[in-house]
Amino acid sequence: MGMSTLSIGFIGAGNMASALIGGLCQSGFNPDQLHVADPAHEKVASLVTSFGIHPSDNNQALLEVSNVVVLAVKPQIMKSVLQSLEVNNGQLLLSIAAGLHSNTLQNWLGQECAIVRSMPNTPALVQCGATGLFANKQVSDQQRQQAEQIMSAIGLAIWVEQESQLDAVTAVSGSGPAYFFYMMEAIESAGVELGLSAETSRALTLQTALGAAKLAIDAEETTAQLRSRVTSPGGTTEAAIEQLQSKQGLENIKQAVTAAYNRSQQLAKQLAKQLADS
């Protein structure tokens, strides 16, 4: 089944579902084949008005008309949502809920289903996301393709081979935007302290961050090679990099990413315990 005949249903009409629906419509997907269900009727109404997609009265009605069902609800309410569903064989479930293992989702559904777990990040809201994807063994090649095309509507989509690697995806790209915001914040305030206006310093910082990412995306070289290319011996950049290195800058950032990874694993365990007790 190609994307032209694919019908996609969204359970949940929050920010990420809205971003996906917007991205799919912008990339030429027929809004007639998109359905959404959410008890928050005003959110549904707003998506129907903006994109011309179909509202569904309830989750089961949405399931009846969808080949792919995007589970866009908070982890805490996923259990009650899934336990009330009757999934057809051959349907793909695409979960964007953090910390919920595919086996847990299957247990709640009470049957073996094709499940893809995905970890998108907030730049998905501006179609510039980075998403990690994992498919369980019930997912066919065609369904993998469908999941990838859906998540590609909001940016980059990359598969991982083990489900546990989604914790590393969370640490790198899930939490990653905040690391860059933190660095931008520091550069912006340094610019102001050095005499630039707040507006000028912010504009220069943000454009420089965007430009550096774009250069790195288009370049053949590694990021380390790109850095050394702009670091002339005895120059201004070298002075800055030496200062960062003297403070173990690279090591600190790596430790920060590892802390996010450890926390991701911890939170998944806590969530599993909390849901088992409920």
The residue ranges of the chain whose pLDDT is under 70 are 1-4
Instruction: Determine the 3-state secondary structure of 189 from DSSP.
Output: helix
Contacts of 196 (CB under 8 A, 6+ apart): 204
My answer on whether 31 and 83 are in the same domain is yes
My answer on whether 219 and 114 are in the same domain is no
Let me know if residue 189 belongs to a domain: yes
Q: Of 166, 194, 227, which residue sits at a domain end?
A: 166
pLDDT of 5 reads 79
My answer on whether 136 and 32 are in the same domain is yes
My answer on whether 189 and 128 are in the same domain is no
pLDDT of 225 reads 96
My answer on whether 188 and 146 are in the same domain is no
pLDDT of 3 reads 56
> Residue 68: enclosing H or E segment and its boundaries?
strand 68-71
My answer on whether 27 and 155 are in the same domain is yes
Q: How far apart are CA 131 and CA 157, in angstroms?
A: 5
My answer on whether 156 and 202 are in the same domain is no
Q: How far apart are CA 39 and CA 12, in angstroms?
A: 8
Q: How many CB atoms lie within 10 A of CB 38?
A: 22
Let me know if residue 278 belongs to a domain: no
The residue among 5, 11, 6 whose CA lies nearest residue 95 is 11
Runs of H (alpha helix) within the chain? 15-26, 41-51, 59-64, 75-83, 102-109, 141-152, 166-169, 176-193, 198-218, 223-229, 236-246, 249-277
pLDDT of 170 reads 95
Residue 82, CA distances (Å) to 85, 124, 201, 238 in order: 5, 25, 49, 55
Q: Of 122, 140, 166, which residue sits at a domain end?
A: 166
Number of domains in the chain: 2
Let me know if residue 272 belongs to a domain: no
**What CATH number has the domain bearing residue 89?**
3.40.50.720
pLDDT of 38 reads 95
Let me know if residue 218 belongs to a domain: yes
User: Do 134 and 166 touch, CB atoms closer than 8 A?
Assistant: yes
Let me know if residue 266 belongs to a domain: no
Q: Of 166, 198, 224, which residue sits at a domain end?
A: 166
pLDDT of 252 reads 94
Task: Tell me the residue range of the domain where 74 lies.
Answer: 3-166
My answer on whether 99 and 150 are in the same domain is yes
Let me know if residue 25 belongs to a domain: yes
Let me know if residue 261 belongs to a domain: no
pLDDT of 33 reads 95
My answer on whether 74 and 130 are in the same domain is yes
**What CATH number has the domain bearing residue 218?**
1.10.3730.10
My answer on whether 100 and 205 are in the same domain is no
pLDDT of 275 reads 79
My answer on whether 36 and 161 are in the same domain is yes
Q: How far apart are CA 60 and CA 37, in angstroms?
A: 9
pLDDT of 162 reads 97
Let me know if residue 257 belongs to a domain: no
pLDDT of 151 reads 96
My answer on whether 98 and 228 are in the same domain is no
Task: Tell me the Cα Rg of the chain.
Answer: 22
Q: How far apart are CA 43 and CA 16, in angstroms?
A: 12
Q: Which residues pair with 135 in a beta bridge?
A: 116
